[in-house]
């Protein structure tokens, strides 16, 4: 009987762990009414990776190498509602449980944007951006094996423009 309870607990823990990622949130909220949802699969990223680098260049910023390291993009835009509040709560829980690090927080006229990353010194495995203003909640999750140096350089370059 004891073994049965241990198995039960392990199963429940693994099921709850499964629910804690960008994909699970996308699956949960993308079909709700009035929700704008975008998903780009690893296969599509491989196709994008075949586009010549010259075409992947936007001004001085070359997105090419970084895009090739991505494996999934999930975007959800939800108008202000209970679902939007729930999404924000779930994102906050999942970044906490997933040991995400707060990269930056910006607050402007009631709009709050938080950016989180998880990975190590060399690679960023996931980048999450959550923006909330009075009318909408926006969630962006980028998964992959992004070289941290490239990601930071790209953001810094783009910020200069």
Partner 1 sequence: MKNLDEITRLGADDLDRISLDESIPVPEELATRIGSVTKPRTRRILWSIPAAAALAALVAVGIGLTRKPALEDTFDDPYLAYAEVEKVFSKISGTVAYGADKVSDTESRIDKISYWK
Residue 81 or 152: the one with the smaller Cβ distance to partner 1 is 152
- Which pair of tokens denotes residue 155? 């953001």
Return the bridge partners of 127, or none.
Answer: 117, 142
Smallest gap, in angstroms, from Cβ of residue 99 to partner 1? Answer: 20
Cβ proximity to partner 1: between 81 and 113 the closer is 113
Closest CB to partner 1 among 66 and 82?
66
- Residue in 159, 160, 118, 112 with CA at minimum distance from that of residue 142: 118
Residue 104 C-beta: closest distance to partner 1, Å: 5
120 CB-near residues (< 8 Å, 6+ apart): 148
Nearer to partner 1, 38 or 85 (CB): 38
Residue 32 CB, shortest distance to partner 1, in Å, is 15
Which residues sit at the interface with partner 1, rule CB under 8 A? 1, 4, 7-8, 11, 14-15, 18, 23, 26-27, 37-41, 43-45, 47-48, 50-51, 56, 58, 61, 63, 66-67, 70, 73, 75, 104, 106, 108, 113, 115, 127, 129, 131, 140, 142, 154-156, 158-161
d(CA 150, CA 141): 18
Report residue 79 as tokens. 């108008």
Q: How far is the CB of 2 from partner 1 (least distance, A)?
A: 11
Of 61 and 123, the one with the shorter C-beta distance to partner 1 is 61
CB of 115 to partner 1, least distance (A): 6
Detail the DSSP E strand segments found in the chain. Answer: 36-40, 57-58, 61-62, 70-79, 101-108, 111-119, 123-132, 136-147
Beta pairing partners, 77: 36, 138
CA distance 31 to 18: 19
């Amino acid at each position: 009987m004891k073994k049965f309870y241990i198995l039960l607990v392990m199963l429940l823990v693994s099921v709850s762990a499964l629910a804690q990622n960008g994909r699970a949130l996308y699956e949960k909220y993308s079909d709700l009414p009035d929700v704008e949802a975008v998903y780009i699969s690893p296969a599509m990223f491989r196709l994008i990776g075949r586009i010549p680098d010259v075409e992947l260049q936007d001004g001085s910023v070359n997105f090419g190498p970084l895009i090739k390291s991505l494996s999934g993009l999930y975007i959800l835009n939800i108008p202000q509602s209970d679902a939007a509040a729930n999404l924000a709560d779930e994102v906050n829980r999942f970044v906490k449980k997933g040991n995400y690090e707060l990269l930056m927080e910006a607050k402007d006229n009631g709009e709050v944007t938080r950016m989180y990353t998880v990975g190590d010194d060399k690679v960023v495995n996931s980048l999450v951006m959550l923006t909330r203003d009075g009318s909408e909640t926006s969630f962006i999750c980028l998964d992959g094996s992004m070289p941290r140096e490239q990601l930071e350089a790209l953001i810094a370059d783009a910020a200069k423009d």
